[in-house]
Amino acid sequence: MNFHTLSVSTTPSSSSFSPCTYKTYLCSNINNESSRVNSPAPSQLTTKKRCLFCGRRHFIQSATMATTLFPIKPSTATNNNSDYADVINQFHPPKPDWYEEFYAWVMNSATKSYEAEVGKYKSQVLGNLKGKALKILEVGIGTGPNLSYYATDSDVHVVGIDPNLKMEKYARSAARSAGLPLSNFEFYQAIGEAIPLGDASVDAVIGTLVLCSVKDVDLALKEVKRVLRPGGQYVFVEHVAAKDGTSLKFFQQLLDPLQQILADGCHLSRETGSSISKAGFSSVEFNTAFVSNASFINPHVYGIAYK
């Protein structure tokens, strides 16, 4: 598979990626209309607290919920009754702490054989970022198995988001193991359908085995495009539905409801490759692979989409 070579600016944008915090805004109810509402960016404040990157305040489709302005918060603050916590719950209903902890432990401990096999595909697409992307967002970072492929440069800044806050300790450990300075790594409890970063604020977005479990695939892809700078890269590795008429597709459809319960919303039979191709990227390059350690979670598509 041949991948494009891009020339990526290495100068951080002070208006969209410098550390900042936002004023807390009160929730404002509006009429239930199916439209996206835009608002001027909130003013910046000086603070010592950990915070997200500067950028336009983003809003959620009112077709999904009553449209409200949600404050951008670090992961440690989303346990409060904040607007963004409500947004997370709309797309990713809260689960018991024991389940979140257990699932994070499983993803960290029981996926080593899978990661070893899929590594040759990840290295092709994630390795393409080295020297070309300094500001990277990983959606659904989980326990951080991808960090060793792209975050070994001390100049790289990474934001990882995941709805499961229990993943954070594992992701931070993976960042340390990869050699990424912890000052260059931030973890936030957030979702792909409402990424709490500004427009055109990152050089690259990474998502591996993410679109199988988001509630709204198309909205998540719109968010990926929104936060990417022009010419930026969306790097993906996803499992997709098997071909129609195959025994594998039959079992995927049969087991899909159980898979969603056991694997935190994961769908076995989504046409994710088609969704990425139709998302409006300027170009998409991807290939397919069969991962023997993944059982029914096959085939995989992997590649790069360019904004």
pLDDT for the residue numbered 93: 87
Contact 201, 16 (CB under 8 A): yes
Chain Cα centroid distance, residue 148: 17
Residue pLDDT, tens place only, 81-103: 468 888 888 898 888 999 999 99
Distance CA 228, CA 213 (A): 21
Low-confidence ranges of the chain (pLDDT < 50): 1-81
- Helix (H) / strand (E) containing 177: helix 168-178
Residue pLDDT, tens place only, 3-13: 433 333 333 33
- Kindly report the number of other CB atoms within 10 A of residue 257's CB atom: 11
pLDDT for the residue numbered 64: 33
pLDDT for the residue numbered 261: 86
Distance CA 117, CA 114 (A): 5
pLDDT for the residue numbered 56: 33
pTM, to two decimals: 0.73
pLDDT for the residue numbered 11: 35
pLDDT for the residue numbered 77: 36
Range list of β-strands (E), 113-201: 135-139, 157-162, 185-189
